[in-house]
Amino acid sequence: MDAKTALLTLDGTTFELPVVMGAEGEKAIDISSLRQKTGYITLDPGYANTGSCQSAITFVDGEKGILRYRGYPIEELAEQSSFIETAMLLIFGELPTQAERAVFRDMLSAQELLHEDLLHHFEGFPPYGQPMSILSAVINSFASYHPDLLDIQTDEEFRLAVAKIISKVRTIAAFSYRKSVGRPFMYPDPNRSYCSNFLHMMFSVPYKEFEPTRAQIKALSLFLVMHADHEQNCSCSTVRMVGSSQANLFASVAAGICALWGRLHGGANAAVIEMLENINAGRMTVKDYIEKVKRREMRLMGFGHRIYKSFDPRAKILKKAAHKLLHDQDMTGDPLIEIAQELEAAAMSDDFFVERRLYPNVDFYSGIILRTLGIPVSMFPVMFAIGRMPGWIAHWYEESKNNSKIHRPRQIYTGPAPRRYVSIEDR
Ligand code: CMC
């Protein structure tokens, strides 16, 4: 038997299926001809065993707790890279040279303002409108403001679209927050770095500029680097699926924002803080919470992962960073971090979590960092979306470059057998 072939016996006939090997030794059986050859499809609800594409962007080994962007370990990027450099790595494939970085920085500065007409969109949302709905709607509206970038053909067009999204997403995010608290919009300041500029648009007031500390800027940049990509998760797969119909980049990443919104995905960071605040307010003890989780009345938010089964390297990095930021901000007595650690310790010594291999994920400590930066909980998923934007763009581009087929899964039908239409009087 060819080592690169899998044999499948169905109804007494044996079929050969090619085996595909990844760069890190991952193994897949190529079933793309299965239905044509056998009449069978595969059934995999939740796609836990389905590879939807071959991708050169991010590698995750969930058993060993490994995460690499374009081959670079997340630990090294956390230590040495910035968000924009990491974004360039993910999107364009290589770490930029100083000159490339400078050109891209200028492009981001040139794109940081929003079209003034676009500002009226913010007025159309009710006060306290959900920042995620505002973000997805405004990013989707880019298709109307930049019709020349709907059918990207050249590298220049792609770079321009990338700069528009990466730069403007933080302006929109900050403006949606300002709108929700009834404060005037603060325009971006081209002399600031990406993260400093975002914090300025969030927290400056017309009579007083907000000057973030180095520690705050570093913590925000690290948060964004940690979220920049995570291969074929729910929102990334959504972006690739929408992109596979040849929908434009703006529509595709807007769809990614919507997919990220849920509590099991990008909404988990806010749910973690709600959980910790409930415990802190005395509505529940750590022990009560753990017992409720074990009775399946609720989930331990920020715990568990479809892929990571020993630890999530991002959680390790963010836990350390949360401690450092609290120390730098002189906030070491924050009760939420103590409760988080108590919960983690309780879960890690409980068979329910150990047997199911549930560990803290990226969202468990990230909310503490955001909260320490003064970001309100309603904005937490938006922060995740800003961070994940480079990953979504990189995957959309890869999908379009690979000339992939439109994504169109099949199903096993379980509905009624054929029946005749009954007119309404006879029903
Ligand atoms: N709390 C309690 N039990 C859990 C949890 C949790 N957080 N996560 C999984 N389980 C249990 C689950 O009840 C099931 O037990 P059993 O086999 O006895 O029925 C078992 O573990 C497997 O769970 P699953 O739901 O089949 O696992 P999944 O791979 O489909 O779900 C997950 C992954 C991340 C959705 C899930 O772990 C979860 O709901 N976690 C809490 C929400 C969260 O923190 N989400 C952020 C994920 S990381 C960032 C991101 O991707 O957005």
pLDDT digits (tens, 9 = 90+) for 86-132: 999 999 999 999 999 999 999 999 999 998 888 888 888 888 888 99
CA distances to 228, 262, 320, 365, 392 from 215, in Å: 20, 30, 13, 17, 28
pLDDT, tens digit (0-9, with 9 covering 90-100), for 352-367: 999 999 999 999 999 9
One-letter amino acid of 97: T
What b/e readout covers 344-381, taking b as 16+ CB neighbours within 10 angstroms?
Answer: bebbeebeebeeeebbbbbbbbbbbbbbbbebbbbbbb
Contacts 24+ apart (CB under 8 A), 89-94: 90/57, 90/58, 90/228, 90/229, 90/390, 90/391, 90/393, 90/394, 91/162, 91/390, 91/393, 91/394, 91/397, 93/56, 94/70
Ligand 1, atom 35, residue with closest C-alpha: 264
pLDDT per residue, tens digit, the chain (427 aa), is: 446 899 999 999 999 999 999 999 999 999 999 999 999 999 999 999 999 999 999 999 999 999 999 999 999 999 999 999 999 999 999 999 999 999 999 999 999 999 888 888 888 888 888 899 999 999 999 999 999 999 999 999 999 999 999 999 999 999 999 988 889 999 999 999 999 999 999 999 999 999 999 999 999 999 999 999 999 999 999 999 999 999 999 999 999 999 999 999 999 999 999 999 999 998 889 999 999 999 999 999 999 999 999 899 999 999 999 999 999 988 878 888 899 999 999 999 999 999 999 999 999 999 999 999 999 999 999 999 999 999 999 999 999 998 779 999 999 999 999 999 999 999 9
Best CA proximity match to 275, nearest among 258, 266, 294, 288: 288
165, 142 in Cβ contact below 8 A? yes
Q: Mark whether 351 is an active-site residue.
A: no
Active-site choice (200, 305, 334, 395)? 305
Ligand 1 binding pocket includes 356 (Cβ within 6 Å): yes
- Both tokens of 107, joined, read 């492009």
Ligand 1 binding pocket includes 362 (Cβ within 6 Å): yes
235, 227 in Cβ contact below 8 A? no
Cα 414 to middle of ligand 1, angstroms = 27
> Which of helix, strand or coil describes residue 79?
helix
Q: Mark whether 44 is an active-site residue.
A: no
Ligand 1 binding pocket includes 358 (Cβ within 6 Å): yes
